[in-house]
Amino acid sequence: MIYLLDSSLDEHSHSRYVIDIIKEHSDVEVKLIPLSTDMTIGELSETVNNLIPIVIPTDIVLCPWAIPGNSNLDNLFEELSSLCYVVAAAGNFHKPIDSFTPARTVGVIAVGTLNKSGLVAALSNYSNNKEMIWIPGTNYSVGWKNSSGTSVSAALYAAFLSMSLKHDDPNLLTKLIENHKNFVFNELNGTSQA
């Protein structure tokens, strides 16, 4: 199960785009936990707290967003990440993730964006201290939308991770990431095959 913490679902919402990305690469169930745009830290803390007793080790909680760092939320996300996988977008501010929750949180998998040349995308946050996952996520088209950013890369990583967990094959995760990178990089060179 992928628990998606994101905007309410409508035809052209961020959450619809993220779900479409996941569904393009995974057949694992996605459960949206809608967050309002004016949600307080207390409400977000309650949302994370509500997940703690229900997740299982093979679940993924996907946070395709980054907010200013908050130590109370960091503590909750660290506890959550001890129970399941927590995947977070690094953020699109071209700044260190040290200032952004949940990407900076211990135990959370922070995902940054590579451009189609395989370099860190100019928009992507980065880390000087924490190991991050890097996935191509610029000019990504699915369905009705084309977008770039760490939410794209985080959604892709969550999809690949979910398939690896579903098939109980840790090597599958690496293979899916490499296949995606090869497709994107070959597309840039005009050698990809649809």
Per-residue pLDDT of 81-100, as tens digits, reads: 999 999 999 999 999 999 99
Phi-psi region of 168 (alpha: psi -120 to 50; beta: other; left: phi over 0): left
Residues facing 186 on adjacent strands: none
* Residue 42 to residue 47: CA distance in whole angstroms: 9
Q: Residue 38's pLDDT is what?
A: 85
Which superfamily is assigned to 2-188 in CATH?
Answer: Peptidase S8/S53 domain (3.40.50.200)
Using the Cα atoms of residue 156, residue 84, residue 104 and residue 134 in order, give the sign of their dihedral: negative
Kindly tell me the burial class for residue 31, based on how many C-beta atoms sit within 10 Å of its own C-beta (0-12, 13-18, 19 or more). Answer: exposed
Lowest average pLDDT, out of 19-23, 151-155, 177-181, goes to: 177-181
Using an 8 Å Cβ cutoff, are 102 and 77 in contact?
yes
- Does residue 186 carry a pLDDT above 90? no
What would the pLDDT profile of 131-146 be if each residue is shown by its tens digit?
Answer: 999 999 888 877 777 7
The per-residue pLDDT for 27 is 96
Q: Helix, strand, or coil here: 133?
A: strand
Residue 59: pLDDT over 50? yes
Alpha-carbon gap, residue 170 to 167, rounded angstroms: 9
Name which residue leads in pLDDT, 39 or 89: 89
pTM for the whole thing? 0.93
Cα angle for residues 15, 133, 136 (degrees, 5° grid): 65
Cis geometry, peptide bond prior to residue 102 (ω within 30 degrees of 0): yes
Say which residue, 102 or 194, is predicted with more confidence.
102
Q: Over 60: is that where the pLDDT of 161 sits?
A: yes
